[in-house]
């Protein structure tokens, strides 16, 4: 194909970073600023691990100056501008994206191998389903421990969900959009009927067709990535829920909504095709003119920028793997190694933990990335990022117990 715009790898990296609100001056944290960030990145993954802080808080503090968790709570449990649902994992998502997420609600569990087993378990345990909905209707919001197990057949699993029938039924009802998290106390969720959590005007309205869902979701995914291949679009935001994606991308390209580009590294064109949204072309051109403002920050292991490990390797040469489930003796970088983004490159991995009783941030290890030499220039960059994280986490001191740069 002739006339395809070519961009170099550095431009693609900077597009990705800018799309994730990880470059330039940060806006001061407020509910409005947080909502603006969410409208750009579309979702924030939830995870219960809290070595430094819960992952969604770490993601947002990398994007908002002086980020305050209370601002997130207000949007989730007060204004209801956000809610908890499944994006690329259990996540915080935008209420305005409910029509997109509703597609999963109405089509789940789909046609995967375990779907028939799930349907059969739901049918067998209909009494449990009805009792949960009845209890929430009469007494909600409620916690899992407030609900009674009326299962006829226990859930069988080799994992932690085995025999946790109430948990599993509530989770299934959540995916189907029948119940939602109405509030939280720490990690404990308070559940209620969805009709009591989201406003009626949000939950009503016409259901989108599969193609309409993909048309919306693909554009949101691409804009959150900056520049991306079809596979990367499919692996972001509402992962694998892009019915008829090739057809939709062809239509969006034909109508001028997205533009095809080639990404070049050292003179070689990377496998593609790659796409950029037409609304991001001014950003691309600004970056190519050299108008780009770098930032330095430590990222959550669950950060959107590095969620797609193959893309991270392609764009950033970052071969990242979480080592939470790796035996301690076999870990290379640490239990909760946080990648350090410095400008448009990853320069180190820092393995920190907050000692809440002692009021300190303990740094277990610092590992420079390949190509980032542990010299005098890197040391201050790492130190500043660690000190900034410690200050945000409320630690009054930093203790380096492992190998520094």
> Token pair 């600023």 is at which residue?
33
- Name the residue among 280, 226, 238, 287 with its Cα closest to residue 257: 280
> Which segments of the chain have a pLDDT < 50?
1
Q: What is the reported pLDDT for 73?
A: 98
- Asked if the peptide bond before residue 28 counts as cis, ω within 30 degrees of 0, the response is no
Determine contact, residues 344/9, Cβ cutoff 8 Å.
Answer: no
Task: Retrieve residue 108's tokens.
Answer: 């789940």
Given this model, what pLDDT does residue 3 score?
Answer: 84
Q: Do the beta carbons of residue 24 and residue 295 sit within 8 Å?
A: yes
Where on the phi/psi map is residue 333: left (φ > 0), alpha (ψ -120 to 50), or beta? Answer: alpha
Reference 190, options 296, 277, 113, 76; nearest CA is 76
Strands 5-8 and 258-265, by their bridges, are parallel
Structure tokens at 209: 């067709």
d(CA 135, CA 190): 13
Q: What whole-number distance in Å separates Cα of residue 242 and Cα of residue 403?
A: 44
For position 205, what pLDDT does the model report?
Answer: 84
Residue 398 backbone phi and psi in degrees, to 5 = -120, 130
- 25, 37 contact by CB (below 8 A): no
Element (H, E) at 353: strand 345-355
Please give the pLDDT value at position 1. 47
Axis-axis angle for helices 98-107, 210-225 (nearest 10): 130
- Token pair recorded at residue 330: 């076999």
Q: Of 372, 240, 249, give the one whose Cα is nearest residue 308.
A: 240
Q: pLDDT digit string (tens) for 280-295?
A: 999 999 999 999 999 9
């Amino acid at each position: 194909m002739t006339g395809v715009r070519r961009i170099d790898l550095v431009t693609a990296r900077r597009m990705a970073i800018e799309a994730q609100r990880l470059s330039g001056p940060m806006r001061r944290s407020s509910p409005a600023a947080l909502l603006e960030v969410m409208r750009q990145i579309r979702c924030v993954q939830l995870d219960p691990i809290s070595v430094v802080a819960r992952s969604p808080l770490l993601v947002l503090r990398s994007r908002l100056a002086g980020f305050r968790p209370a601002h997130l709570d207000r949007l989730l449990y007060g204004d209801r501008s956000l809610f908890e649902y499944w994006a690329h994992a259990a996540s915080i998502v935008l209420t305005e994206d409910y029509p997109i997420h509703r597609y999963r609600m109405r089509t789940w569990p789909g046609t995967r191998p375990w779907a028939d087993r799930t349907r059969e378990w739901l049918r067998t345990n209909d009494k449990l389903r009805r009792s949960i909905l009845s209890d929430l209707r009469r007494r909600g919001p409620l916690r899992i421990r407030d609900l009674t197990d009326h299962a006829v057949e226990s859930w069988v699993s080799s994992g932690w969900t085995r025999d946790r029938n109430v948990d599993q039924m509530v989770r299934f009802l959540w995916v189907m959009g029948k119940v939602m998290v109405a509030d939280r106390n720490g990690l404990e969720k308070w559940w209620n009927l969805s009709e009591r959590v989201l406003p009626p005007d949000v939950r009503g309205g016409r259901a989108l067709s599969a193609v309409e869902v993909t048309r919306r979701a693909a554009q949101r995914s691409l804009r959150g990535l900056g520049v991306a291949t079809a596979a990367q679009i499919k692996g972001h935001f509402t992962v694998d829920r892009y019915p008829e994606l090739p057809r939709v991308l062809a239509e969006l390209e034909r109508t001028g909504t997205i533009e095809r580009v080639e990404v070049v590294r050292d003179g070689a064109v990377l496998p593609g095709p790659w796409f950029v949204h037409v609304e991001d072309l001014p950003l691309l051109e600004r970056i190519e003119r050299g108008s780009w403002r770098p930032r330095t920050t430590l990222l959550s292991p669950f950060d959107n920028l590095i969620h797609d490990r193959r893309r991270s390797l392609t764009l950033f040469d970052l071969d990242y793997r979480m080592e939470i489930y790796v035996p301690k003796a076999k870990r290379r970088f640490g239990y909760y190694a946080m990648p350090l983004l410095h400008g448009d490159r990853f320069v180190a991995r820092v393995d920190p933990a907050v000692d809440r009783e002692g009021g300190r941030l303990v740094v277990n290890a610092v590992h420079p990335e390949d190509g980032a030499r542990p010299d005098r220039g890197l040391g201050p960059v790492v130190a500043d990022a660690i000190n900034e994280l410690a200050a945000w986490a409320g630690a009054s001191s930093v203790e380096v117990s492992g190998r520094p740069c």
